[in-house]
Amino acid sequence: MVDLAEFENHSDNLANRSRVIAQERTWSNVIDGKFEPSVTGRVINMVCPSDGKTFCMIAHSGLEDINAAVDAARRAFEDGLWSRMPALERGRILRHLAQRIHANFEDLAALESRDTGKPLSQAEADITATARYFEYYGGAADKVHGETIPLPNGFTAMTLREPHGVVGSIIPWNYPAQIMGRVVGAGLAMGNCLVIKPAEDACLSILRIAELALEAGVPPGVLNVVTGTGEEAGALLASHPGLDFITFTGSPEVGTLIQRAAAGNHIGCTLELGGKSPQVLFDDADLEAAMPVITNAIIQNAGQTCSAGSRLLVHKDKWDEVLENLVRRFDNLVANAHHVNADLGPLVTRNQAERVAGFMDLADDANIPVLAAGKIAEDAPEGGYYAAPTLFGPVPSDSALAQEEVFGPVLSMLPFSDEEEAVKLANDTPYGLVAGLWTRDAARSMRLARSIRAGQVYINGYGAGGGIELPFGGFKKSGHGREKGFEGLYEFSATKTIVMNHG
């Protein structure tokens, strides 16, 4: 049993840590193993989503900063200190970085929580997952191998997996530490050198982990982090001719620009572009198991999750029972400041709060009923970007609530009559990232898992502790390529074929 007083003291301590770590500090870029302010001296204010107040600053980088980072990564790659280092040794350094993250766990969790607005418990889970990425890829670094290919007598053919070279990665604000872990862990394990451009809205954990990477033994120039706006620094990195590969997580609109920029330099890219993920609940589903998972899948990180279960497809015979259960749950949900550890924190920026409010207005204009809503705590700090969790339904399948990614704590409930209609509704969006199926019928679950166009399908569950080992990516507008698991290693490498004629 949790001692409430002890837990509240723990939360207060972490909140204080985040203030001490970030207070009045201007965070520098990490370029070639050094901490460098932007060449122009420009800065960007970092605003806490819980109260809307500035609490530190980051570098506002431009062309010279991006050039310096890419040049540093190129020198490091060509020098071969990392790219030609035995995979076993690279893996040991990555595992050492995981240890450094564990050693700084409380500070990193407090920083992530204040920076993004997510409750401390969620930030702690994120930092745990981040360390696990480096543990996983540290252990996998020397497990990647090629193949031999049968040829006529006198020839021997083999394949090798080699790093792309210099990789640019643009990381979003919703899970900065976790997404850094899955990108940097896989990219470094394969011997690449990286330039990271994190989101300007939340990126302090990325900068801190880059510092820890240097302490862990990652050589200068191998991992560089340059902060700035997406319109300037992000665009400059995406189009930089010094890159060999690029990864991006974010909106489909920006993903299109990234892919065009990559095409201009004839390089490949991995794109993870969000989703409108369905949870399909049949009349034989175990509601006791399903309801808490379905609720959490839309309020986690205030719904600002690419894999959020934002559409709930419910068999018509189960509608009333499911609705009664969800109304009870939503009525008890509370949004509050990050350090309070409520059900959910604020949205990350004022713009994001306005975006979510815009979808609410569209639903109101379309007369889509509000079935249930949580609340914003009375003691939530003024100036914060809060949104109450809201359940809509029945939602027309062609409405914005059913088709577009809200990226907020908004759940759309749609009825269906049979398997055929369930599959049709599940696939009836431009996205295809994740899906959840809730049924006791094993044959049915496999039929639907094969029929739904999604990169991940969960049966009687949704998510798996961060899913570090599970390939992640989507179909259609959700992007292409895969991160996480061994697929992530393959994504950060190219196949080389060697053929020997030995007579």
The verdict on residue 503 lying in a domain is no
CB atoms within 10 A of CB 373: 15
The verdict on residue 211 lying in a domain is yes
Do 340 and 450 fall within a single domain? yes
Do 432 and 490 fall within a single domain? no
pTM: 0.93
Do 487 and 462 fall within a single domain? no
pLDDT above 80 (res 2):
no
Do 191 and 140 fall within a single domain? yes
Report how far apart, in Å, the C-alpha atoms of 354 and of each of 199, 351, 360 are: 19, 5, 10
**275, amino acid identity:** G
Give residue 134's pLDDT band: very low, low, confident or very high (50, 70, 90): very high
Region 442-462: mean pLDDT is 97
The verdict on residue 419 lying in a domain is yes
Catalytic residue check, 272: yes
Residue numbers of the domain that contains 133: 4-273+481-496
Q: In this structure, are residues 343 and 334 in contact, taking their beta carbons and an 8 Å threshold?
A: yes
Give residue 503's pLDDT band: very low, low, confident or very high (50, 70, 90): confident
**Helices 204-216 and 4-22: crossing angle, nearest 10°?**
80
Do 408 and 485 fall within a single domain? no
CATH number of the domain within which 198 lies: 3.40.605.10
Q: How would DSSP label each residue in 34-88?
A: EEE--TT--EEEEEETTTTEEEEEEE---HHHHHHHHHHHHHHHHHTTTTTS-HH
pLDDT above 90 (res 214):
yes
pLDDT computed for residue 15 by the predictor = 45
Do 254 and 319 fall within a single domain? no
The verdict on residue 474 lying in a domain is no
Do 187 and 264 fall within a single domain? yes
Could you read off the pLDDT of 116-131 as tens digits, one per residue? 999 999 999 999 999 9
**Which residue is catalytic, options 124, 232, 272, 483?**
272
pLDDT computed for residue 73 by the predictor = 98
Region 87-103: mean pLDDT is 98
The verdict on residue 150 lying in a domain is yes
Do 44 and 172 fall within a single domain? yes
Do 214 and 352 fall within a single domain? no
Do 140 and 268 fall within a single domain? yes
Looking at the 3D structure of the chain, how many domains does it have?
A: 2
Calculate the average pLDDT of the chain: 94
Could you read off the pLDDT of 238-278 as tens digits, one per residue? 999 999 999 999 999 999 999 999 999 999 999 999 999 99
Do 253 and 349 fall within a single domain? no
pLDDT above 90 (res 91):
yes
The verdict on residue 292 lying in a domain is yes
Do 266 and 393 fall within a single domain? no
Where does residue 23 rank: exposed (0-12), middle (13-18), buried (19+ CB within 10 A)?
A: exposed
- The larger pLDDT score, comparing residue 7 to residue 184, is at 184
